[in-house]
Structure 1
C-alpha cells in the first residue's frame, strides 16, 4: 500500500521534477545516486526554509541594532536635557545667591544711613532743647528787669514824697527837683538798657524760632527718607523670606516649630539681632523704632531659616549626572520577590562618583549592613536621619561631624543591588519619607 502511494507521488512530481542521477566515477568503477522527485522536493523545501530562516534572523538582528541605536540616542538626548536642566538650576541658584548678597549689602548700607540719620536727629534735638533753654533764660531775665524797673520807680516816688514832707523851703524844692531829674535820668538809662536788652532778646528769639523751623524741616525730610528706606528694607525682607518659608512647607515641615528649635539650641557667635531702642527714659518707642525692630525681627527669622536649612537635608547627595531609577513607594522587587515597599530614591550614576552629605550632622553608622551593603547613616537636627547605601567606599567614621557638601563615600554596587547606584533615604522620627520632596522643595531656593 505504501509503495503504491509513493509511486503515485513520484509519478505526479516527475512532471515537474524529473528523476535525476548523480554519477560518481573512480578509477575502477562508476556509481550513481538516484534523486527521485520526492527527494528533490524535500531538498528544495529544506533549502527554501533555510534561506527564509536566514532572512528572518537577519531582519531581527537589524531591527534590534536599529532599536538599540534609537535607545542610545534617546538616552543621550535625555542626559543632555538633564544636564541642561542642572546647568539652568545652577545658574538660577547662583543668581539667587547674588541677589541675596546684594540685598544684604543694601540692608547694611541702609542700616548705616539709618544710624547716621538717627545721630543727626538726636543732635538736632539737643540743639533745639538748648535754644529753648536759652529763650526761657532770656524771658525770665527780661521779666526780672521789668519788675526791678517798676520797683525802682515806686521807691523813687516814695523818696520824693518823703523829701517834700520833711522840707518846705524853695531850696529844698529845687533840690527835690534836681534829685527827681537825676532819678529820672537814671531810670531812663536803666529803661533804655532794658529795652535794648529786650530787643536783643527778641532778635535772638526770632533767630531761634527760624532755626527751629529749619530743624523741623530737616526732621521732616529725614522722616521721609527713613520711610523710603524702611519700605525698601521691608520689601527686601518679605521677598527673601517667602521662598524659604515655602521651601519648608513644601517639604512637610512646620517653619515655626523648626525656628523654635533653632532658637533653643543656637549657641553660635552673635546670636539674634537685638532690637533698636531710641528712648532711654522708658517712654513709648517711636514709629521708626517699631519699624526697625520689625525689620530686625525679619532678619533674625531669615538667619534662623538659614541655620535650619543647613541642618535639614535640602540638597542632592550627588553633584554628578545621574538617572533617577526606582522611586519612593511600592515597586516590583528586582530579584523577583514580588511587590515590595521601597523606602528611598535610587540614583544610578558612574562607579566611584562622590556621595555628599545633604545637611550638617553626626555620623551614627559607617559600615556593612544586610541589604544596604556599605551604608552611612547621618543624624541631623529635628529628628531627621539620612541613609546612603550600596557604596563602593566609605570615607567617614562613626562620631564624625559632617557639613553639607562633605564627601562621605563613593557610589558603588555593594549589598543587594543590580547595578551601580545610590540608595538615598530620609527618615523623620524613624519613619521613611520621600527624599524627592526635600530635593524638589529646595530647587527654587538653592
Structure 2
C-alpha cells in the first residue's frame, strides 16, 4: 500500500483536511489511494447516470416509432367522420329547406283564399247595403201601397203585396246568413295564416341554427388541416391552389333558379351561410386530396430504433433520419408516387427515390434488396424493398429522406403531422 501510495503521489499528492472546533483541531490525511477511490466512485456514478438517461431516451423513441404506423389510419378515419357529419348536416339543411318551401306555398295559398274571402265580403256588404236601401224604400212603398190598396183595391191586392214582401225578406235573411258564414271563413283563414307564419319563422330559426352548427363544425375541422401543412413548411393557400388546378372540371345543363318573394331577408342570410359552408367543405375536400398525396406514413412498420436524427452530425449535415433494425426488415412506400431511381448510388448504397405530388420526394438508402423499377407507380404502404447495410453504413438501418422542391426537410415533421390530423 505504501509503494502504491508513493507511485500515485506523483499525480495525486497527499492532502490534509483540518476540522476545527472551539477547543480542538483534527487533521484528516487523504492519501493518494483514498483520493483515487473517491474519484473512481464519482466517475462510476456519473457514467451510470449517462447510461440510464440514454436507455430511457431510446425507449421513448422506440415507443414513438411503434405508434407512428397507426397515424395514417387515424387520419383516414377522422376524414371519413368529418365527411359523414358534413353529409348529415347537408341532409338536415335540405330537409329544412323543403319544409320551409312547403310552408311558404301553404301560406301563399291561404293568403290568396283570404284575399278572395275579403273581396267577397266587401261585395256582399255592398250588396247588403243596396238591398237594405231597397228594402227600406220597399217597406215605405209597401206601407203606401197597403194604405192605397186598403182604400182602393180591397183585400186581394193587399195579400199579393204581403207575399212579395215575405219572399224578399227570406232572400235578405239568406244573404245575411251567407255574409256571416263568409266572415267566419275569413277569420279562420286569417288565423291559419298567422299559424303558418309562426311555423315559417320556427322553420327559419331551426334552419339558421343548423347552418350555424354546420358552419362552426366545418370551420373547426379545417384548423388541424392548416396546421398539418404549416408544420411541414408548406403554404396552405398554395397547396389549395395547386390541387384546384388539377380538379377544376365543370359542365352539364343549367336550369333557372326560382325563389319565393316572401321572407327574402331570412333566405338571403341563410343562403349566405350555406354558400360559406359549401366553400369551407370544398376547402376540406381539397385538403383531403392534398393530404392523400403527401408521404405521411412510416417506412418501417416493424420494431426499430431511431439511431440518428435530422440535422448536423459530426460537423456535416445529415439530411434524413436513420431507423435501425435487422437485415431484411420490410421497407414500405410512405405515400403514392412514381419510382424515379432504383439502384446503387455512392454512400447511399442501394437507393430508391419516389417522386410524389406537390413537389415532394422520398429516398430510402442502404437497402439490402430493391423490389421496384424506375417508372413504376407505387401506393402508400406498398412493399418496395428490405433494410440492409450497403453504402457508407456502420450497421443495418434505413436512411429515410424527405425533400420538398429539391430541399431536404425533417421527415419527422411529416410523421408528426399525421398524428396531428388523427
Same fold (TM over 0.5): yes
Matched, 1:360 2:374: no
Change in Cα spacing, 1:187 to 1:362, as seen in structure 2 (3 Å) is farther
* Aligned ranges 1:259-270 → 2 under 5 Å: 259-266=240-247
Select 1:229's aligned residue among 201, 204, 210: 210
Q: Shift in Å at residue 385 of structure 1?
A: 1.7
| C-alpha distance in 1 between matches for 2:177 and 2:334 | 84
2:97 is aligned to 118
Q: Shift in Å at residue 142 of structure 1?
A: 2.8
Cα deviation 1:215-239 (Å, max 9, x = unaligned)? 2333333344334433432332233
Matched, 1:392 2:373: no
Select 2:116's aligned residue among 118, 134, 137: 137
| C-alpha distance in 2 between matches for 1:176 and 1:242 | 99
Matched, 1:279 2:259: yes
Change in Cα spacing, 1:410 to 1:364, as seen in structure 2 (3 Å) is same
CA RMSD of aligned residues (A): 4.2
1:412 is aligned to 388
State which drifts further: 85-94 or 375-384: 85-94
For normalisation by structure 1, the TM-score amounts to 0.68
Higher relative contact order (CA 8 A, sep 6+): 2
State which drifts further: 320-329 or 351-360: 320-329
For normalisation by structure 2, the TM-score amounts to 0.71
1:9 is aligned to none
- Structure 1 or 2, whichever has the larger Rg, is 1
Q: Shift in Å at residue 411 of structure 1?
A: 1.5
Matched, 1:243 2:224: yes
| C-alpha distance in 2 between matches for 1:385 and 1:351 | 24
* Aligned ranges 1:141-290 → 2 under 5 Å: 141-148=120-127, 185=166, 187-266=168-247, 279=259, 285-290=267-272
| C-alpha distance in 2 between matches for 1:294 and 1:75 | 52
2:413 is aligned to 437
Cα deviation 1:233-284 (Å, max 9, x = unaligned)? 233223322111111111111111101111111279x99xxxxx88377977
Change in Cα spacing, 1:356 to 1:138, as seen in structure 2 (3 Å) is same
- The 8 Å contact of residues 243 and 286 in structure 2, kept in 1 or not, is answered as yes
Change in Cα spacing, 1:77 to 1:147, as seen in structure 2 (3 Å) is same
2:324 is aligned to 348
- The 8 Å contact of residues 135 and 205 in structure 1, kept in 2 or not, is answered as yes
Q: Shift in Å at residue 206 of structure 1?
A: 1.9
- Look up the SS of the partner of 1:388 in the other structure: strand
State which drifts further: 217-226 or 236-245: 217-226
- Look up the SS of the partner of 1:382 in the other structure: coil
| C-alpha distance in 2 between matches for 1:248 and 1:91 | 19
Q: Shift in Å at residue 97 of structure 1?
A: 6.1
Cα deviation 1:163-196 (Å, max 9, x = unaligned)? x9xxx99768999988876665555444433332
| C-alpha distance in 2 between matches for 1:425 and 1:84 | 21
Q: Shift in Å at residue 96 of structure 1?
A: 6.8
| C-alpha distance in 1 between matches for 2:177 and 2:322 | 97
- The 8 Å contact of residues 71 and 418 in structure 2, kept in 1 or not, is answered as no
| C-alpha distance in 2 between matches for 1:363 and 1:80 | 34
- The 8 Å contact of residues 394 and 409 in structure 1, kept in 2 or not, is answered as yes
- Look up the SS of the partner of 1:313 in the other structure: coil
Matched, 1:331 2:313: yes
| C-alpha distance in 2 between matches for 1:100 and 1:330 | 37
State which drifts further: 228-237 or 293-302: 228-237
| C-alpha distance in 2 between matches for 1:84 and 1:279 | 59
Q: Structure 2: 5+ residue runs without aligned partners?
A: 1-42, 252-256
2:377 is aligned to 401
Q: Structure 1: 5+ residue runs without aligned partners?
A: 1-62, 272-276, 333-338
The number of equivalent residue pairs is: 367
2:36 is aligned to none
